[in-house]
Structure 1
Amino acid sequence: MFVGLDMGTSVAKAAAFAEDGTTLRVESTPVSLGGQGERVEQDVEEVVRAAAGVIAAVTEGRTPALVAVTGQGDGLWLVDAEGRAVRPAMSWMDGRAGGLVAGWMADGTATRLYRRTGNVLFPGSAGPLLAWLDRNEPASLDAAATAACCKDVIHLRLTGERGTDLSDASVPFLDPRTRDYAPDALTALGLEHRAGLLPPIAATLPYGEAHGRTDGLSRGTPVTCGPYDLPACAIGAGVTEPGDGLLTVGTTLACQVVVDTVGLDAEPVGFHLGTARPDRHMRALPAMTGTVALDWVLGLTGTTHGQLSDLLDASPRGARGVAALPYLSPSGERAPFVDPAARAEFTGLDLRADRADLVRAMCESIAFAARHCLEAAGLTGRLAVCGGGTRTPAWLRLFADVLGRPLRVARGPEPGARGAVMAGVAAHGDTLGHHLDPVRWTIPEAVIDPSPAAVAFYDEAYADYLFRVTTARERWRGPTGS
């Protein structure tokens, strides 16, 4: 039995798998978020308890061959040498460092850092959060032994081993050529004196044995750490070759494509996440839109997710001329372009439009946004898909039509936990005495083929979408272009 733990932002999930990849059991439990306004924090002890609880539930007293940990990336989890929190964890959603990031974008620091690492700065990533604490809570940094990410803290608490993997180390300090922290990247953010807080980077994945002091896992159980949830889901979906991609239709759209080089000269947007192979990187463009935009329009029209298929069937392709832009986040958009002023809109409305047209227009626009991100990320090969938005067949078919390619529905449940196990065994299989068949583990649940007629229609509609995005961005800049 192999166990994958996926420590999400609001839910801890564990899945037990047989050696052939069959899911044996899945357990989950909610985890709370605290704070108010720009402050978004989590209780480290609550997270560790939740992780131990779901592991214990799926193992039922048995000792697994491996526990593989993945989870939310970014944020800042300050702990002492024992993995105990010196302050509440700062979530990747925390916005306190927004002013610092705006300043670095204005003075060119953000662009120079992208040219060095291939990764953008955003308020909830480790660099800006460290810099904010250094200015506002230096005592917290002085008291900490490690500035880690969520999964790294769980691994430290389970095994006593301090470390991180290449994916979480990537943003924003990793030099993709040396595969180690870039000292000048720390200097650019004024953090050279805090370099000792960064955990060592494992060449493949951190590995240790459970010390038995945390409930839910017996002493000596092998435990691996990483990659974090975005690349772990890609591995679990069988996305490993250059040009292949994964679309996660969740609260936001997480769009990833495997690339063999880091485009340091490209437009500064998104991330290049390191992997165990030096010639493989995950080009990640996580948009701010996704099912959150669908939820908004369903609420506005007084409809529910259970009605979505009927609503999509009730409105024809093109939504009778109604079109949308899906940028509903108050913080704007971050992929495939960065614009804090980005805002949503509906066009083409008249008295004949109904709620089905509004819902279809928003669903189409979200699919267009996914295509925009995936094309910018370099998608040329096969595309897998996962996430809550894939549970509605009519919307899944719409995605296939807009993207113009078959969609491989990732094997479920829990592709992140599945990918964490696959990565852990790939990295440490000789030590574990186990090797898994990746093809068998990633057989898709289904393949959704596009309709040729719909593909032709949506190719034209996508060109119109890009035109509307371009003209909207000009409006967002204001009459002076500033």
Structure 2
Amino acid sequence: MRDGRDIIIGIDAGTSVIKAVAFDLGGRQLGCASVRNIYVTGDDGSATQSLTQTWADCVSALKGLSEKIEGLAARTAALAVTAQGDGTWLVGADNRPVGDAWLWLDARAAPTVRRLAGQSADRARFEATGTGLNTCQQGAQMAHMDRHRPELLDNADVALHCKDWLYLNLTGIRATDPSEASFTFGNFRTRRYDDVAIDSLGLTHRRTLLPDIIDGTQVMHPLSADAARATGLLAGTPVSLGYVDMVMTALGAGVRTHATNAACSTVGSTGVHMRAKPVDAVHLNAEGTGYVIALPVPGIVTQVQTNMGATLNIDWILRLAADLMADAGRQVAFSDLVGRIEHWLETTRPGALLYHPYISEAGERGPFVNADARAGFIGLSTRHGFPDMLRAVVEGLGMATRDCYAAMGAMPSELRLTGGAARSRALRGVLAASVDAPVRISDREEAGAAGAAMMAAVALGVYPTMDSCIDEWVSPLLGQAEAPDPDLARQYDRLYPAYVEARQSLAPVWETLGRERAPATHDKAIHDEDEAKTAPDPADMTRRDGASPSSRIPPLRSLT
């Protein structure tokens, strides 16, 4: 730019790490600084994070970036922020936090999800949002708070998400973006709030807590004087509110290139599987699961299914091995075990065991929702050793990926991969064979921060459209397509039906185990479910004016 401002800073606040990344106006990464984020879990299923500490960590990341990039403040043309999705970040008077945030990992809303999912109005909510109800979401969490912790909402002025909280601290503006607003309380077709979605959650009387919706490719606000003093950047620097991190990462990794829509999987701690589609091509499954999340491209959305645990499963089995070896008096670095994954996969027979990768304490949310779901091996015998189990875990991630894409329609013709595990050649081979499609990875190091920065680049007018920005920031960084092994693809094609049949059959077993893990919590969930079944469903009641409330609900779309 003529004034010498040639840097856009993308902020990506994940669950465990906050990153500040500097890009030049053409998309080249110039530097990155990160700060470890902290969250706390409890035996009651809670997973919380301090709002104050999260902002402080964001400030630290920006200061760390300033130490790496000479003259950063004067050179910064704009900032953009994205962050972990879902969760509930309540803010009260004087923009002060109302307690700690409930994260997407928080499982306390499970009884409320069971109650609401049993009502006919939930299908209408799903038809509007395109998103299945689960414990991760702000809507479910607020509905649970309204019933069990109303004082939290009573003391709040606004309900934000993580990126919205950081945007508030950067600009003083309370707002959210079209992606999180529409998949939580709105309609993915209009990208606005929707009365049907809000009513189905029983939150009409809490509607004033929902912030204004702004699109960061069109609207920016200046960095406030307070934020400038805290970060060392210049007051008045434009700030763009990005979309949720899932779609920002997919945007930066190539879910849409050369105006062509593709599939993209992020294989990190969790697994995020998405396909970019025109709005009228969205496939809403009969089970009512998954997400539909807007992209910052007119008329284009991403259809998403997410696994609660992806590489968390690999971390678990490697740490288990490391702990056992330590108990035997042999200390082994975790990194040494990671380095042996390729060898173990090359020396073991594929398809020998089945593994369901539901290792998260919150159960599973894609392509089915079950807070009791847990991981397990099927087919073990005395001939199997640790390498066989490790291979089964990796193949389980492949089967889970296929399961998610199957819930969105046909398998993709090409799969773009991002996340740390995408760097593993063997894992890429398993994923390619699981969906029987070539895979392609991007050389983009920080895809989430890049996606947010791309929004600022469009808002600044550096590019006239997002597609023109993609052509320069994303397309040149995509690697060569890697074709699946045809024999392995055929073997996984035979294995997949057994994988699905087994996880469907295990549901009552998971329920029994869940009751044993936490009898009080589980009994409360059963009580709520029974209450939902015996209480009149509002959709079946007749109003005093003679009209049925269900007449306010649009007809359900045909399912293919």
Provide the TM-score with structure 2 as the length reference. 0.79
Matched, 1:276 2:296: yes
The aligned residue for residue 17 of structure 1 is 23
The aligned residue for residue 355 of structure 1 is 386
Match of 1:286 among 292, 306, 312: 306
The aligned residue for residue 406 of structure 1 is 438
CA distance in structure 2 between the partners assigned to 1:273 and 1:393 by the alignment: 30
The aligned residue for residue 253 of structure 1 is 271
* Aligned residue identity for 1:49: A
SS at match of 2:433: helix
Match of 2:490 among 459, 472, 475: 459
Q: Which one has a bigger Cα radius of gyration? A: 2
CA distance in structure 1 between the partners assigned to 2:478 and 2:213 by the alignment: 34
Deviation at 1:204, TM superposition (A): 5.2
* Aligned residue identity for 2:290: G
Per-residue Cα deviation, 1:88-130 (whole angstroms, up to 9, x for no partner): 2111112221111111123344333212321111123111221
CA distance in structure 2 between the partners assigned to 1:455 and 1:88 by the alignment: 50
The aligned residue for residue 49 of structure 1 is 56
Per-residue Cα deviation, 1:287-324 (whole angstroms, up to 9, x for no partner): 12311112222234447212211111221333xx3332
Deviation at 1:382, TM superposition (A): 3.3
Q: Which one has a larger percent helix, Structure 1 or Structure 2?
A: 2
Bigger Cα displacement from structure 2, 14-23 vs 54-63: 54-63
Per-residue Cα deviation, 1:374-415 (whole angstroms, up to 9, x for no partner): 233245343211112123222223322333322221233110
Deviation at 1:13, TM superposition (A): 0.6
What RMSD over aligned residues (CA atoms) do the two structures have, in Å? 2.6
CA distance in structure 1 between the partners assigned to 2:461 and 2:27 by the alignment: 19
Per-residue Cα deviation, 1:21-43 (whole angstroms, up to 9, x for no partner): 22111110011113522222111
Tell me if structure 2 keeps the 8 A contact 1:116–1:264.
no
Per-residue Cα deviation, 1:426-456 (whole angstroms, up to 9, x for no partner): 2x133999997422311336335134xx233
* Aligned residue identity for 1:349: L
Tell me if structure 1 keeps the 8 A contact 2:92–2:158.
yes
SS at match of 2:273: strand
Tell me if structure 2 keeps the 8 A contact 1:81–1:146.
no
For 1:82-481, list aligned pairs within 5 A: 82-203=94-215, 205=217, 206-214=219-227, 215-216=230-231, 217-240=233-256, 243-260=261-278, 261=280, 262-264=282-284, 266-302=286-322, 304-318=337-351, 321-378=352-409, 379-426=411-458, 428-430=459-461, 437-442=469-474, 443-444=476-477, 446-451=479-484, 454-477=485-508
Bigger Cα displacement from structure 2, 334-343 vs 357-366: 334-343
The 1:162/1:361 distance shift into structure 2, 3 A limit, reads same
Deviation at 1:143, TM superposition (A): 2.9
The 1:2/1:475 distance shift into structure 2, 3 A limit, reads closer
Per-residue Cα deviation, 1:331-370 (whole angstroms, up to 9, x for no partner): 4322122334434332333332222111112211211211
Tell me if structure 1 keeps the 8 A contact 2:11–2:19.
yes
Deviation at 1:420, TM superposition (A): 0.6
SS at match of 1:131: helix
SS at match of 2:417: strand
Figure out how many residues of one structure are paired with residues of the other and give that number.
Answer: 476
Deviation at 1:48, TM superposition (A): 0.8
Deviation at 1:69, TM superposition (A): 0.3
* Aligned residue identity for 1:412: R
Deviation at 1:264, TM superposition (A): 4.6
Share of identical aligned residues, percent? 31
Bigger Cα displacement from structure 2, 386-395 vs 215-224: 386-395
Matched, 1:40 2:47: yes
Q: Which runs of 5+ in 2 are unaligned?
A: 1-6, 323-333, 511-525, 527-560
* Aligned residue identity for 2:214: A
SS at match of 1:446: coil
Matched, 1:62 2:68: no
Bigger Cα displacement from structure 2, 256-265 vs 144-153: 256-265
Bigger Cα displacement from structure 2, 112-121 vs 67-76: 112-121
Q: Which runs of 5+ in 1 are unaligned?
A: none
CA distance in structure 1 between the partners assigned to 2:356 and 2:95 by the alignment: 44
CA distance in structure 2 between the partners assigned to 1:96 and 1:282 by the alignment: 28
CA distance in structure 1 between the partners assigned to 2:452 and 2:31 by the alignment: 16
The 1:391/1:420 distance shift into structure 2, 3 A limit, reads same
Tell me if structure 2 keeps the 8 A contact 1:70–1:227.
yes
Bigger Cα displacement from structure 2, 282-291 vs 438-447: 438-447
* Aligned residue identity for 2:224: H
